[in-house]
A and B are shown apart, each in its own frame.
Chain A
Amino acid sequence: MRKLPKVDVVIVGVGWAGGIIASELTKQGLQVVGLERGKERKTEDYFMVHDELRYALRYDLMQDLSKETITFRGNEKVRALPMRQYGSFLLGDGLGGSGVHWNGQTFRFLPYDFEIRSKTIEKYGKNKIPAEMTLQDWGITYDQLEPYYDKFEKTTGISGEENPLGGKRSDKYPNPPMKKSPAMKMFEDATKKMNLHPYMMPSANLSQSYKNPDGIERAACQYCAYCERFGCEYGAKADPVVTVIPVAKKTGKFEIRTHSIVRRILKTGNKVTGVMYTDVTTGEEIEQPADIVVLTSYVFNNLRLLLMSNIGKPYNPVSGTGVIGKNYAYQVIKGNAVGFFNNKEFNTFAGAGALGVTLDDYNGDNFDHSNLDFIHGGIVSYTQTGMRPIQNNAVPGGGPTWGKEFKDKSLKYANRYLAVAAQGSSMPFKHHYLDLDPTYKDAYGDPLIRITFDFENQDRNLATFLAGKCADILKEMGADHIDSLKELGPYDITTYQSTHNTGGIIMGADPQTSAVNNYLQMWDVDNLFVVGASAFSHNSGYNPTDTVGALAYRAAEGIMKYHDKGGQVV
């Protein structure tokens, strides 16, 4: 194996987390190598981006599943089988990772989230938490994380207005909210009338041109309606390629190697010494030594690398001991309602990924759960992401899905329906976890990650509760016909829900129950940091990226502390 010269830091995966770590460390003079398994990405790639088939249906920007996927089963009695085709979530690939094709919805979690166990017990007593629910505090408070949220929001240029029910802010959003479409106005008017607290969704699609604290200038969003699953041709949507990566590159201290898939973390004693990766263009295996290793890929690959490299104590779902793979959580996304309007057409062909109005009245513990059979909740929003024609053909009342009547109705309602949707939180359970699949391998002969996960009563009750709230709002908005979720059903890998997979390498205050400290430094290995939504102990009722960004800024600070002093930095 060819061994390269040692560098200060090697990062594995160059998306949001990797880009932030790289920009912060190189600014302070560290030499950083970023290994990225996919290809280079740049704005000019998106010349032909308004192509629903290529990007939304054929997943042009996503990980090639023929090389690597995950396996899934609902519970331990079932044989896990590979996710052969995309459905439930879409894995990113290439420079910028999933940060290239996100929608840009950039929410802070609630103060409640970070101390969820303590606060639940304090208010409702211990019995409110089901025995199997492995609910934990995060080992950090909202107030501790607030400055890092602020930093990420300024880097990305979030456009928004204060959440009336959110945590305290040290500063306002750097840009004013986006424009309001007529449908958004209807949602706002209706929910105000219902004494709820609507506000403009915090958006990484710029409402105006903006220069961030790193000196990066970007143009305003054009509402072209191609965000989710697409890259932004204007750079108006914050993504790592147009924000943090160029900052790191400009220092001259950041080297990105694309087409480089990291396969093992190398360890001697209780320190890691670097990584082994394969140059996918030649097949050569190469060793990159480093003083500090930072895992910044998606949840599944962060975890896979730890398990394949025998680092940390794997989670055992029977005894509940061990931590690597614990508290896998997701998102309860199906609690929604669709309203059809017979006499009004909307400009829903236009939009932006984070263009919407949202409210927190049913999120976190912002409402009383004493008589409810679940904890937490979710945001309820009307989001105008742009209704592209292949994927948006709803007809009222579950009528035929093909033939004369379908064509007639789907054309009639093409611009006449609005979805009000909840983004439900996902609580951890003892038997929801990630480990290595015993059977299926990737293109390099390494084992795939196996997901064991299903919806619980918590999720079913939450979903129908939130769907009911969505339907109430649509009624107030004047919809002529409303379809809403009546029953959640089992978790299903085939229908798209959300690419908000979380947990597996969770943060906390106690090495017995968490894998990383609140700087995302491994408890077991001082010079290894694992950054991303893999650190979430549960998933909140929001999109995760703001919290991933905030944690990455905090981790960068922790890495500098370690670089200066060594040892555990907490």
Chain B
Amino acid sequence: MTEENKENPESLSRRKFIRNTGYTVGGLAVGGVLGSLIPLGIAKKNEKAENFNQALMYFTPEQFRIVEAATERIFPSDQHGPGAKALGVAFFIDHQLSGDWGFNAREYMQAPFFVGEKVQGYQGRLKRRDVFDIALREIQNHSMAVYKKNFTDLKGDEQDAILKDFEGDKVNVTTISPSGFFQMLRSVTLEGVYSDPLYGGNKNMDGWKMRNYPGSQMAYAQIIDKDFKKIKPQSLQNHMGH
């Protein structure tokens, strides 16, 4: 076994933890993460690398700017801390659209397609990336129709009004459901704010810090029966050293 990782003295060592808790079936190992606990050699802490993650996998620059502006209205920067833009939410959404989620890869997309009742859920044939393409174009169209300006050139409350028209199905779009798109945009914005930073959002764990969420901790056994206490957050990357 290799040495304990010295870089994260404050966190409970995963390897030590498992060793101490013991975990066997009469001599027969039933699993355990022991075998996978060889340090993977992540970059040293003080190396200030560029964030190579912040580039586009799917959006055009124009689409990216619309998403950045719209998500900032959903989760704005304020006295608590950064908004969606500074948290990297638009990058997060871009990256998500380029993978399984954008392709609806693990969802049933077989024909025939029929219009269903609301309680039957999404019945469209379009994938999320198609829905985004159409919706972002329609946001721009609606913005031009109402204000004769690009969405990204509008003032905050004007952008809100455009988004509210989508939320309330008050725009005339037939290929997608405007409110369905808005709900998806809202959900994926919160995902970008609060998911582990490994996905490109929640930059610097600031989403978690604003709500005093400790992120990924190995154990709360020592505090579960105590009153609320702020705990310094850590992300999944922290486990890689163990």
Contacts and interface: CB of A to CB of B under 8 A. Distances in A.
Interface of A: 42-44, 46-48, 50-53, 57-59, 64-66, 68-69, 72-74, 78-79, 81-85, 87, 179-182, 209, 215-225, 233-235, 241-242, 246-247, 250, 344-347, 349-351, 355, 389-390, 393, 401-404, 407-408, 410-411, 414-415, 439-441, 490-494
Contact of A223 (B189, B196, B224, B236): B224
A211 to B, nearest CB: 9
Contacts of B211: 389, 410-411, 414-415
B25 A250 contact: yes
| Chain A to chain B: the 7 pairs with minimum beta-carbon distance, closest first | A43-B31, A350-B220, A219-B21, A222-B219, A50-B216, A414-B211, A345-B228
B117 interface: yes
Contacts of B194: 52, 389-390
Contacts of A345: 212, 227-228
Nearest to A222: B219
B145 interface: no
Interface string B106-147: 111110101011111111000000000000000000000000
Interface residues of B, number: 75
B228 A81 contact: no
Given A221-B221, A224-B217, A389-B208, A43 B32 contact: yes
Given A44-B35, A346-B228, A403-B160, A84 B23 contact: no
Contacts of B220: 222-225, 347, 349-351
Contacts of A410: 211
Contacts of B25: 215-217, 246-247, 250
A87 B24 CA distance: 37
A84 B226 contact: no
A51 B239 CA distance: 12
A52 B196 CA distance: 8
A384 to B, nearest CB: 8
Given A347-B226, A402-B186, A215 B219 contact: no
A384 B32 CA distance: 26
B26 interface: yes
Given A51-B196, A57-B191, A66-B106, A350 B75 contact: no
B65 interface: no
B109 A84 contact: yes
A43 B29 CA distance: 10
A347 B222 CA distance: 12
B30 A235 contact: yes
Given A53-B196, A78-B117, A441-B110, A217 B23 contact: yes
B22 A217 contact: yes
B28 interface: yes
Contacts of A404: 76, 78
B105 interface: yes
A206 B74 CA distance: 41
A82 B122 CA distance: 9
A82 B108 contact: yes
B199 interface: yes
A541 B119 CA distance: 24
Contacts of A223: 219-221, 224
A50 B194 CA distance: 13
A181 B224 contact: yes
A58 B101 contact: yes
A66 B107 contact: yes
Contacts of B189: 402
Nearest to B105: A66
Given A74-B117, A222-B219, A402-B74, A46 B22 contact: no
In terms of DSSP, what is the predominant structure of the interface of chain A? loop
A241 B30 contact: yes
Given A65-B107, A217-B26, 9 more contacts: A85-B104, A87-B121, A215-B25, A215-B26, A222-B220, A223-B220, A235-B32, A347-B224, A389-B213
A223 to B, nearest CB: 4
Given A42-B31, A390-B194, A411 B119 contact: no
B1 interface: no
Contacts of A57: 191, 195
A125 B122 CA distance: 44
B214 interface: yes
Contact of B226 (A182, A439, A494): A182
A179 B221 CA distance: 8
B225 interface: yes
Given A73-B120, A242-B30, A218 B23 contact: yes
20 contacts: A52-B196, A53-B191, A58-B106, A66-B106, A72-B120, A81-B114, A84-B107, A84-B121, A85-B108, A179-B224, A182-B225, A215-B26, A219-B22, A224-B217, A234-B18, A235-B30, A247-B25, A390-B194, A402-B189, A493-B119
A389 B207 contact: yes
B75 A414 contact: no
A85 B236 contact: no
B173 interface: no
Q: Which of B195, B220, B227 has the most CB of A within 10 A?
A: B220
A30 B106 CA distance: 38
Q: Which of B33, B108, B109, B118 has the most CB of A within 10 A?
A: B108
Interface string B128-171: 00000000000000000000000000000000100100000000
B218 interface: yes
Contacts of B73: 402-403
B212 A414 contact: yes
Contacts of B80: 407-408, 411
Interface string B7-26: 00000000000100111111
